[in-house]
Amino acid sequence: MSPVPAHIQDLGAYVAASPSSYHAAAEAGRRLAERGFVQLEERDAWQGGAGDYFVIRDGAIVAWSVPSNAGPTTAFHILGAHTDSPSFKLKPKPTTGRYGWLQAGVEVYGGPLLNSWLDRELALAGRLTLLDGREHLVATGPLLRFPQLAIHLDRAVNEGLALDKQRQMNPVWGQGDPAEADLLGLLAARAGVDPREVGGFDVVVADTQEPRVFGADGEFFASGRLDNLSSVHAGLTALIGTATGTARSSDGPIAVLAAFDHEEVGSASRSGASGPLLEDMLRRISLGLGAGEEEQLRALASSFCVSADAGHAVHPNYAERHDPVNLPVLNGGPLLKINANQRYTTDAPGAAYWAGLCRMADVPYQEFVSNNAVPCGSTIGPLTATRLGIRTIDVGTPLLSMHSARELCGVSDPDYLATVTSAFFRGVQ
């Protein structure tokens, strides 16, 4: 096998450190702070001007780099992504069970491939909020499992597995009497806090298997949460390189990474793309550069957003589910996602810009369009374009097994996306 590329090693480390959206935002912030970015608090007054900054709002993070010659009408180049992934979320009163088993009450989050979560060692991860408002991140390591029914007890299972989300998706985490057990108390102990002081929690289930490179020549990369931490990591890598590199023009655009939460459930939250998070940040950056309302609108009119979210590679066993002509493959470069009904925002000027950008960065790309008979998903792209009026295109890393507990991409594609994003952040034309 070929040596494992450094970018894919680092992506694996980022995914492993990010079992929940809150961990993903915190890990991104930690990496940014290590490279000199300053964390700002939304309640504080901000001092405007050039510099590198980030804000964390719940499970979302917005980070930006303002060049030295930025002014009131300087454009923004924004890479939009999301930190959350399909999973299961702990319900209130999560300790359940019967017949001597301890189980966890969970609610389906987004649209996971349910069967892919069976017979895996799983963790709980997220945040605990204390009665005084302080928050603590928690991650358990292997703790739970959705055990599958043996084939001897369901001889027709291979003819079609149908899972009831309420009755059959209740993971086991121990043995004992549920009346005497306390899953929330276990989480509090892992976080080092008094369980009596926990006033609320946002905790999800995460796969614990380590990311892995495999294939005849090490060409494949398997991991949980590639949708969409692969895009967050690409943007994070590119932004750090842009802010700390020497090739950036001092009068280039303001480079912005906007990694939202709750995309998998519609984005309608204070930290989601339908909320005001990005608009708030852009307005405050412009105000810090001396912009009035007129200058802010001019800056937005000159700005550009790349909505980066994982997309579909052609599946060799289900080729009929894809468009018969546009058939993207792993390691063929990032996708340019196109939809006539605006489920993706890419239009002709945006497509031309992306083509030129990839040419300048020496990065291949592939076009993706859905089969007319298969419903098309959507992204934060249409939401961002609608809220802000910024020219937006949709791109992403091609995957197989999207929304599985363990997804699959090519080892080259995440690095391709990071490379072209670096050119985009620098304002390369």
Q: What is the pLDDT of residues 149-175, one digit of tens each?
A: 999 999 999 999 999 999 999 999 999
Q: 2 falls in which pLDDT band (50, 70, 90)? A: confident
Provide CB contacts within 8 A for 212, sequence distance 6+: 221, 222, 223
Q: β-strand 51-57 against 38-39: which pairing, if any?
A: parallel
Q: What is the pLDDT of residues 96-113, one digit of tens each?
A: 999 999 999 999 999 999
Q: What is the pLDDT of residues 391-422, one digit of tens each?
A: 999 999 999 999 999 999 999 999 999 999 99
**N residues, the chain:** 429
What pTM was estimated for this model as a whole?
Answer: 0.96
Q: β-strand 135-139 against 172-175: which pairing, if any?
A: unpaired
The arithmetic mean of pLDDT across residues 209-232, rounded, is 97
Provide CB contacts within 8 A for 34, sequence distance 6+: none
User: Which of 203, 259, 330 lies closest to 27, judged by CA?
Assistant: 259
Instruction: Quote the mean pLDDT of the chain.
Output: 96
Task: Report the C-alpha gap between 212 and 220 in whole angstroms.
Answer: 8
- In this prediction, residue 67 carries a pLDDT of 94
Locate 15 and state its tokens.
Answer: 């995914």
- Asked if the model's pLDDT at residue 228 lies above 80, the reply is yes
CB 391, CB 303: distance < 8 Å: yes
> Helices 6-16 and 413-426 sit at what angle, rounded to 10 degrees?
90
Task: Report the C-alpha gap between 61 and 305 in whole angstroms.
Answer: 16
- Asked if the model's pLDDT at residue 246 lies above 90, the reply is no
The arithmetic mean of pLDDT across residues 310-333, rounded, is 97
- In this prediction, residue 250 carries a pLDDT of 74
Task: Report the C-alpha gap between 173 and 154 in whole angstroms.
Answer: 24
- In this prediction, residue 251 carries a pLDDT of 78
User: How many CB atoms lie under 10 A from the CB of residue 23?
Assistant: 22
The arithmetic mean of pLDDT across residues 87-98, rounded, is 97
The arithmetic mean of pLDDT across residues 263-286, rounded, is 97
The arithmetic mean of pLDDT across residues 255-262, rounded, is 98
- In this prediction, residue 247 carries a pLDDT of 57
Percent of the chain with pLDDT over 90: 94
Provide CB contacts within 8 A for 169, sequence distance 6+: 88, 106, 108, 114, 117, 146, 163
420 phi/psi in degrees, rounded to 5: -70, -30
- Asked if the model's pLDDT at residue 364 lies above 90, the reply is yes
Q: 248 falls in which pLDDT band (50, 70, 90)? A: low
